[in-house]
Structure 1
Amino acid sequence: MQSSRPHALRRWTVQLCLLMLLPLSLQAAPPAAIKVLRLPLEQAETSFDPVRADDVYSLRVLSHVLEALYHYDYLARPAKLVPLTAAALPEVAEDYKCWTIRLRPGIFFADDPAFGGKPRELVAADYVYSFKRYADPALSSPRFAEWLEAGILGLQGLREEALRSGKPMDYGREIAGLRALDRYTLQIRLAEPRPRFAQWLAGNDKAGALAPEVVQAYGAQIGEHPVGTGPFRLAEWRRSSRLVLERNPGYRERYYDAEPAPGDAEGQALLARFKGRRLPMVDRVELSVIVQNQPRWLAFLNGELDLIEVPGDFIPKAVPLGRLAPHLRQRGIRLYRSQKADVTYMYFNMRSPALGGNAPDKVALRRAIGLGLDVAREIRLTRGGQAILAQSGVVPFTSGYDERFRSESGEHDPAKARALLDTYGYRDRDGDGWREQPDGSPLVLEIATQPDDFSRAQDELRKKDLDALGLRTRFVTAQWPEQLKAARAGRLMIWQLSETAVNPDGQDLGMRKLYGPEAGSTNLSYFRLPAFDALYERVTRLPDGPEREAALHEAKRLQVAYMPLKYMTHRIGNELTQPRLQGYRRGLFSQELWHYVDLAP
């Protein structure tokens, strides 16, 4: 009896030879590597409920999970507003008081158990619901004043009705200012003309849509379970430590496209390289909270981060004289350097008995503090020279900004500061070297700060400056989220913050922080001045043009005269990327970024 093994061997050999002759396209390909983008967060997040979140770090994450009706073209310079979930730009009527927006059908929320296993399409009613949430008194949104200031008809009344009744706010009650005319049509009516209201509907972090089912399912924990229509979804969260976003597998077919200016060589090159690529181009984004500058810098040098903004104290080593250091260039690391549309500022609590209010002696004290701070030295020593002096709160690339404008906010004049203090009665009466208040009571300036190296370096400089004026200081140290809570409650006397413009309107960042009705929310200084409020409301109604620019200029003069804020710097960004990160460009008025970049194998 003959063995069958030789025949089996021959058959196996023939099959193997035939398989090797098959076209490569028909053979199984190895699985593609998962593309993981690794980034730092410079401070801990707070919440991922857009109604409660008010810090740049939480909002940066939300910008990639939720989606607004509009956003800014990634490559366009100057900024250009374009539809995101909307089908087109708004239809405007009634002298900028009626705005009608049509949604693009076929956009779905990321899968979530709250939807019961069924696909959930985005509809106009979701935006109505999401915008109403800002008015819900049970949520105590720190951003409600912004939405109230937008002038949406009926929004304030809806809130007041809930407050009067003591019952949960009735989201089902229709109001004149927010209506879903049909499944895909949203109409917003305003009390006053707002020529730039379309910008209000941009910004995924503020104007992104949530589904009522998700909010109801998670209740008070909605800040831990954001579910949107965006390119990513939150997959993992270890509070104040690590966050992971994953590609939203149900994200619609959206492709890389933009409109860079014809003379924009960088933008045109990015468009030529990536146009038509499906978004997002990475599969996963891992975020590590690294507060201290040195560990964050070392993590980048070790290849653990793909992108970093160079901390000020490392600028001399990384970007000497504004150029990438040779040892970094040899590693293929790239530098992206640009002026930011931002401002850093020190605010004074107008409710503080020591320095608040608009009485001449209190204004003189705030002005003296501002004049005594050597911001140019701070730029040189703590920011590596990578900033310009701020003369007002109106920032570069926005309306009302004039690089030729000069004000006392940009001055350093200790002699003038001491003269102001002497004139208004701030003198050292007991000979201990420290000035007292005009009534002879002690004067101590309490400055809020954070326990990181950068803050400590700035605190040392400020103490030295204020010591030279005879002003006693006490630094109150806490983590950034805790300081923000205290600031909203009006418990901090002095604190430094920074803000980045989210649209090209100079009023938004340059004036809103001082608008009286927003005291305690955007207006953390609790500044109130009827003349300024009237000017703010006039600027809101005016169309773009010379008259509005002149009004913005007048607002800057009032800011400096009363000094509720000491404007410090407009920062220059120096971002470094690892060789494998491709397609990076700093966004203008947008935090959207992570789905526009790719990673080389």
Structure 2
Amino acid sequence: MLLSLNPKVRALATSLLLVLGAAHTAHAQPAAAPAEKVFRYAYPIAETGFDPAQISDLYSAIALANIFEAPYQYDYLARPVKIRPNLAEAMPEVSSDFRTWTFRLKNGVLFADDAAFGGKPREVTAQDYVYSLKRFFDPVNKSPNYSSFNEEGILGLEALRKKAETGAKFDYDTEVEGLRALDRYTVQIKLKEPRPRFINTLADPTYGGVVAREVIEKYADKTMEHPVGTGPFMLQSWRRSSQMVFVRNPRYREVHYEAEPAPNDQRAQAIYAQMKGKRLPMVDKVIVNVIDEPQPRWLAFLNNEHDFMERLPQNFVTQAIPNNKLAPNLAKRGIQMAQSPLTDITMFYFRMDDPTVGGYTPEKVALRRAIGLALDTAEEVRLPRRGQAIVAQSFIMPNTPSYDPKFHTELGTFDKARSIALLDMFGYVDKDGDGWRDMPDGSPLVLYLDTLGRADYRELDEVMKKNLDSVGVKLVLRLGQWPEQLKASRAGKLQMWGFGVSGSSPNSGGLLEYMYGKSVGQQNHSRFKNDRFDELYQKQLVMPDGPERDAVIKDMNRILAAYMPYKPRVHRIGTDLWQPWMTGYMRHPFAREFWQYIDVDMSKAPHQ
């Protein structure tokens, strides 16, 4: 047919066929794969590892929360906070006395693939959860959170531990009254005493993250570096204290973005409108670098190497958020900002069995109280922290029911005159004329504070040293690495050490475990022991939230003010910044998992 056309028509038809054929060929070719979505940011402090039973530090816990899952979780956008089912099918059945908690796990939830499973998919069962909780009681794991679980009073677990402490191997196969798999998917937990807030434990992947026995036994001495969970991400590679790379877990079940933002929360409502129904996680890979110095961490964000700046370093507050507003140059780039009071506290402790600062005699108590009174925490807030904190008046953290900004104790008081008077009264005077106060027996009074050498810590330490210099007390700063300091602190080898604690639940009394006598060697770094304090600690555990429990918690704080085993410093204000190509972020007061809820537009990200 084509050959019978005249030459002009034939040429036109041939051109048309070539165009159509090219279009058909282009259409037939498979579309290019979408760019891998990579989310990048930095930790300011190194992680310690990835085993729920063996970690207690915040930055390891953040990683764990994205690998392992607990039966319950916090709604990402709901304020006030709300707990909802995660691995569990529904909210737990709870006895009227808060002692029996029963829940059923979802069918078909799978662990990430691992050689320990012999090439077969591995479903999560109730026995996995039972096994995971028992690991906190196995002495071999030396869990820093053992005391926390023991105080929950799960019937029978302490007896298993005591038997193992005599030299026998911890018996994971013995069923105990308080922790049972009633069938393949149903878990029942029975507690010795009422625990009205036990749901918080069930919603914390640091405590309740489910592990598989086959994995733990196969990698027995490497569980801190070989996490296998059910969560949205898996650890792909790890350079200790340098970089962690996490990738999407292909076995992660089909989960879509759902939340219940408050009707009057415009920001949460906007995020929900944008994200509702999207399958989680939305990013394919998360790269976390450890950059302890504030300046290179800040520069990495400014240079578009990172998508997110979790908590703006205090050193750059003036240039980034003058008067708590985003600087014009950053706003012009489309950078976003959000500020919120953190559920946290910074503090330092005095080791109570140290010959210089420890002890319960009047002169030892007077020394610690004098040191506390000499510290101008308001100056710390004003200068090195650039206003990004509030002075802590007690050990009750913001965003918890018992927090009362009007509650004041001597824990937050600065009074240089009283400090000098106490030191003079109890014999801490300069006996050899060198300009520094001595101990009552004439030996040198020297305080040793273990700290970090990075810029933000140097600024904080300079204020502390200046304050103590002004009352004649000599302070020596010993520099080191945070993970090593943590180990030394638990072993009772440091005289004084400062750290921060971030709350993982709205439990106002949770922090008080750091002063509880039975937690010495674990959370109780100061090794403080006081019978009345321990009695009140036990009392508040069984009480529901309300004014009566608030009063008990305040009494506990007054005991701490009297003995001063710890000196609280500040509650921080968090300023988070993120690039215009990152969406969906909203800081949660307690939950640490957020990677699955954010998205990155790689077409706009310069680092793609």
Same fold by TM-score greater than 0.5 = yes
Listed as ranges, the matches of 1:228-247 within 5 Å are 228-247=229-248
* Structure 1 residue 506 displacement after superposition: 0.2
Measured after TM superposition, the shift of residue 205 of structure 1 is 2.1
Q: Which string of whole-angstrom CA distances, capped at 9 and with x for unpartnered residues, describes residues 402-433 of structure 1?
A: 01111212221111100111111111111111
SS of residue matched to 1:345: strand
- Matches for 1:383-402 after TM superposition, within 5 Å: 383-402=385-404
Residue matched to 1:549: 550
Structure 2 CA distance for aligned equivalents of residues 40 and 427 of structure 1: 46
In 2, Cα distance between equivalents of 1:163 and 1:412: 46
SS in 1 for 2:36: coil
Change (3 A) 1:440 1:100: same
Corresponding residue of 2:132: 130
1:142 and 1:340 map into 2 onto residues whose CA distance is: 23
- After the TM superposition, which residues 145-544 of structure 1 pair with which residues of structure 2 at under 5 Å, given as runs? 145-164=147-166, 166-308=167-309, 309-509=311-511, 511-544=512-545
SS at match of 1:257: coil
Amino acid in structure 2 at the alignment position of 1:296: R
Aligned to 2:23: 20
What letter corresponds to residue 111 of structure 1 in structure 2?
D
Corresponding residue of 1:3: none
Letter in 2 for 1:289: V
Match of 2:117 in 1: 115
**1:11 Cα offset (Å):** 9.8
- Count of aligned pairs: 592
1:152 to partner: Cα distance: 0.7
- 1:63 counterpart SS class: helix
Quick one: which amino acid aligns to residue 535 of structure 2? A
Is 1:72–1:588's contact at 8 Å kept on the other side of the alignment? no
Q: Cα offset for 1:29?
A: 2.0
For residues 22 and 556 of structure 2, what CA distance do their matches in structure 1 show? 77
Q: Secondary structure at the match of 1:223?
A: coil
In structure 2, distance between residues paired with 1:288 and 1:337: 23
Which sits farther off after the overlay, 530-539 or 352-361?
352-361
Kindly provide the amino acid, as one letter, of the partner of residue 251 in structure 1. Y
Per-residue CA deviation, residues 244-273 of structure 1 (Å, 9 max, x unaligned), is 000001110101111111111111111111
Partner of 1:580: 581
Q: What SS is found at the alignment partner of 2:55?
A: coil
Separation in 2 of the partners of 1:547 and 1:556? Answer: 15
Secondary structure of the corresponding residue to residue 547 of structure 1: helix
Amino acid at match of 2:469: D
| Matched residue, 1:566 | 567
Counterpart residue type for residue 369 of structure 1:
I
What secondary structure does 1:219 align onto?
coil
User: Secondary structure at the residue paired with 1:482?
Assistant: helix
- Tell me which amino acid in the other structure corresponds to 1:446: Y
In structure 2, what is the Cα distance between the partners aligned to 1:14 and 1:228? Answer: 56
Q: Give 1:28 shift.
A: 2.8
What displacement does 1:18 show? 5.1
For residue 42 of structure 1, what is the aligned residue in structure 2? 44
TM-score normalised by L of structure 2: 0.95
> How far 1:92 moved relative to its partner?
1.0
- Residue 377 of structure 2 aligns with an amino acid whose one-letter code is V
Aligned counterparts of 2:287 and 2:471: Cα–Cα separation in 1 = 47
In the other structure, the counterpart of 1:89 is: 91
Q: Which amino acid aligns with 2:308?
A: L
- Give the match's secondary structure for 2:164: helix
- Helix, strand or coil for the counterpart of 1:485? helix
Structure 1, gaps ≥5 residues long: 1-6
What is the aligned partner in structure 1 of residue 103 from structure 2? 101
Structure 1 counterpart SS, 2:421: helix
Q: Using a 3 Å threshold, how does the CA distance of structure 1 residues 326 and 426 change in structure 2: closer, same or farther?
A: same
Q: Provide the alpha-carbon RMSD of the alignment.
A: 1.9
Partner of 2:606: none
Asked if structure 2 preserves the Cα contact closer than 8 Å seen for 1:74 and 1:588, the reply is: no
Letter aligned with residue 303 of structure 1: N
- Answer whether contact 1:242 1:287 (CA < 8 A) is retained: yes
Alpha-carbon separation, structure 2, partners of 1:23 and 1:432:
87
Letter in 1 for 2:60: S
Distance 1:11 1:34 in 2: 41
Specify the code of the residue in structure 2 equivalent to 1:366: R
What residue number does 2:4 align with? none
Q: What's 1:4 paired with?
A: none
8 Å contact from structure 1 (residues 332, 579) kept in 2: yes
Partner letter of residue 472 of structure 2? G
1:422 maps to amino acid: D
How far apart are the structure 2 equivalents of 1:82 and 1:317? 40
Secondary structure of the corresponding residue to residue 50 of structure 2 = coil
- Write the letter of the residue equivalent to 2:302: L
Shift, 1:545, TM fit: 2.1
- Distance in 1, matches of 2:442 and 2:191, equals 51
In structure 1, how many angstroms separate the alpha carbons of the residues matched to 2:14 and 2:212? 60
Q: C-alpha distance in 1, partners of 2:452/2:546?
A: 42
Q: Secondary structure at the match of 1:240?
A: coil
2:305 partner amino acid: E
In structure 1, how many angstroms separate the alpha carbons of the residues matched to 2:589 and 2:89? 22
The one-letter amino acid of 1:361's match is E
Deviation at 1:20, TM superposition (A): 2.6
Inter-partner Cα distance in structure 2 for 1:186 and 1:358: 45
Deviation at 1:72, TM superposition (A): 1.0
CA contact (8 A) 1:73 1:259 kept: yes
The range that moved more, 430-439 or 118-127, is: 430-439
AA in 2 matched with 1:528: K
Aligned with 2:256: secondary structure? coil
Give SS of 1:461's match. Answer: helix
Give 2:49's aligned amino acid.
Answer: S
Residues 450-505 of structure 1: per-residue CA shift (max 9 Å, x gap):
12111122222211111111111111111011110110001111111101111111
Pick from 48, 62, 73 the counterpart of residue 75 of structure 2.
Answer: 73
Q: Deviations over 1:539-598 (max 9, x none)?
A: 111122221121122122112121111111011111110111101111121111111000
Deviation at residue 374 of structure 1 after TM alignment: 1.3
**Mean Cα displacement is larger for which, 393-402 or 11-20?**
11-20
Tell me, in whole angstroms, the C-alpha distance in 1 between the residues paired with 2:15 and 2:600: 41
Deviation at 1:19, TM superposition (A): 6.4
